[in-house]
Amino acid sequence: MLGTLLATYADAQTTTSGQRTFRKNERTARANWQPVRKSNLTDADAGFVGESKSVSQATATTTSKSASNSVVRQASHVQQTGHGVPEPSYPPHSIIEEPIIHGPSDGYVELEPFHGRPVPCDAMPGGVGCGCGSMSCDGGCDSMGSCGYGGVCDEPCGANGWRPCVTLCLPQDGWVSFEYLSWWQDGMSLPPLVTTSTDANVAQANAGVLGQSTTRILFGGEEVLTDQFDGGRLRMGLWLDRGHTWAIAGEYFKIGSESESFFANSNGDPVLARPFFNVNPATGSAREDSELVAFGGTGNVRVSGSVSAVAESELLGAGFHFRNLRACNEGCNTWGLFGCPQQFCSRTEALIGYRHLQLTEGVVIQERLTGINPVGNFDISDRFRTRNQFNGIDLGWFYTQNRGNWTLDSTIRLALGTTHQTVSINGQTTISGDPTAAGSQTYQGGLLAQDSNIGTYKRDEFAVVPEFDINLGYRLNKNWRVMVGYTFLYWSNVVRPGEHISRDLNPSQLAPAEDPLTGAARPGFAFDSVDYWAQGINAGLEYRW
């Protein structure tokens, strides 16, 4: 068609000035001509795109109009100048090029024209040809002075995107990530459980007794389990529609089981003792007292032995939730010290789902001692265990922003539900080697675990669990991303072992216990809830498909 048109122009040329002007205009039009699906021709000239006219008819019509106006009409994206020379609109492009498929989502069509591969630009802010929307660069700069690539959206975004109303299908897009967790938790408070005396000649009545100037605490009396915990977290999700507006996601994490322990033995020097508060002394009022594990000083008692204590903790969580796109934005911005503007894509999603947490902790104290006076072997143990199981509804917001290869995402969640609290207390004493009783005898009750508080206690309490996550990531390619971040978790109304170890003791309960019991039944039991938190850093790898 174009050849016939140009041939007709060539035959009509003369040596006049007006013909030279026409020839100049024709060459300009030829240089700017692009194939189009429509034209600005009138209905009478619709042979190019409308009714089926012959080539000669189209050529004759065009020649006649060109001769009278000395202007060659262009496609709709070409502007006319006052001098009769067509001038392309900015930015020049062909409207028949393939559309950009923006991101990995199937079913999302980007309607913006594609301007071709960007060229290098100045990496400094405000540099020539640098930044969003510049004439030579449409994506910003990296540290090497080259422009970032277009398509920064991992998910479909923008007003130019097409999302079908009904796109539900078998899930085909999703993600999975694994992170290493290095967390710290709220320490477990313990009462003083093991003591010693710095004076080897201390009196029996003052050995290892709290409040004495020579007494030192060996274990307890402060928070334990305050060191770093190692763990892992697995997250995965599936998009339920092609437009990536609905997804279902789940996670599982675990830190621990971590423990902190103590062990000491002695033949009597140094002193080892288990402190308690005597609520029923043989004479006088209630006072601080101790049970001797190893003592060789002045008094009627001679004993040697060992004592150990272990505190342990384990936290795990799981859940699932639905994610729904609530807002999406594309544009150009600057991040912190990165001065060169770049394209960004951000998404805000609402979360609703189910949350489960479980915190299991325990404290065990064991004594193994040999008495010279009185004669006998004693094996004594106290066990305190707690378990908290939270179940509730999880609500939250998820925000993510992609900028070049960098990603920044954060999640704020609040779970509301109940915590099923369980406290288990148990104790046992085994006595052997008593010349007045053959064999060994086992009794219920140790030192701080006696018949008055031994048992399993349960109740349900309302609890809230807010959580905050933030992650900085870098995309290695279309599918893989490395990331590092921070997590803070808070949990109200939990039970912990330290709050359920009572130092009040009626020695009449010590094995073998008096029957009937003289004095108050101590130690007793009462629920005591506290708050709990865990926080730390995470590093991991994510795969998207």
Report mean pLDDT in 10-residue bins for the chain, 545 residues: 42 46 56 50 42 41 42 42 47 44 44 37 37 45 41 56 48 89 95 94 91 95 93 94 89 90 93 94 81 84 92 96 92 68 87 98 95 84 98 96 90 98 97 80 94 96 97 93 97 97 93 86 95 96 94
One-letter amino acid for residue 365 of the chain = I
Alpha carbon distance, N-terminus to C-terminus of the chain: 47
Longest dimension (CA), the chain: 142
HSE toward the beta carbon, residue 125, CA cutoff 13 A: 9
One-letter amino acid for residue 8 of the chain = T
Identify the helix (H) or strand (E) that includes residue 308.
strand 302-335
Which two structure tokens, joined as six digits, stand for 239?
């998009």
Which two structure tokens, joined as six digits, stand for 126?
């405000």
What size, in residues, is the chain? 545
> Long-range CB contacts (< 8 A, 24+ apart) of 470-473?
470/408, 470/409, 470/410, 470/411, 471/407, 471/408, 471/409, 471/410, 471/538, 472/406, 472/407, 472/408, 473/406, 473/407, 473/408, 473/409, 473/542
CB atoms closer than 10 angstroms to residue 171: 13
Are residues 453 and 425 in contact, defined by beta-carbon separation less than 8 angstroms? Answer: yes
Sign of CA dihedral 101, 104, 107, 110: negative
Q: What is the pLDDT of residue 150?
A: 41
Q: What are phi and psi of 20, to 5 degrees?
A: -65, -40
Which two structure tokens, joined as six digits, stand for 307?
């004592």
Q: What is the pLDDT of residue 322?
A: 96
CB atoms closer than 10 angstroms to residue 290: 25
CB atoms closer than 10 angstroms to residue 353: 19
Q: What are phi and psi of 10, to 5 degrees?
A: -65, -40
Round to whole Å and give the CA distance between 456 and 407: 49
Round to whole Å and give the CA distance between 421 and 70: 91
Q: What is the pLDDT of residue 281?
A: 76
HSE toward the beta carbon, residue 390, CA cutoff 13 A: 31
Closest alpha carbon to 408 in 326, 325, 481 = 481
494-519 per-residue burial string, b: 16 or more CB within 10 A, e: under 16: bbbbbbbbbbbbbbbbbbebeeeeee
HSE toward the beta carbon, residue 421, CA cutoff 13 A: 22
Identify the bridge partners of residue 304 per DSSP, sorted by sequence position: 370
Rounded-to-10 torsion of CA 366, 372, 374, 376: 50
The pairing of strands 375-403 and 406-432 is: antiparallel
Sign of CA dihedral 449, 452, 458, 459: negative
Round to whole Å and give the CA distance between 166 and 284: 84
Round to whole Å and give the CA distance between 471 and 449: 46
Are residues 138 and 273 in contact, defined by beta-carbon separation less than 8 angstroms? Answer: no
CB atoms closer than 10 angstroms to residue 43: 7
Round to whole Å and give the CA distance between 335 and 399: 16
Q: Which residues contact 195 (CB under 8 A, 6 or more apart)?
A: 208, 209, 210, 215, 216, 217, 218, 272, 273, 274, 275, 290
Round to whole Å and give the CA distance between 513 and 450: 10
Q: Give the global pTM.
A: 0.71
Q: What is the pLDDT of residue 105?
A: 43
Are residues 429 and 392 in contact, defined by beta-carbon separation less than 8 angstroms? Answer: no
Q: What is the pLDDT of residue 371?
A: 82
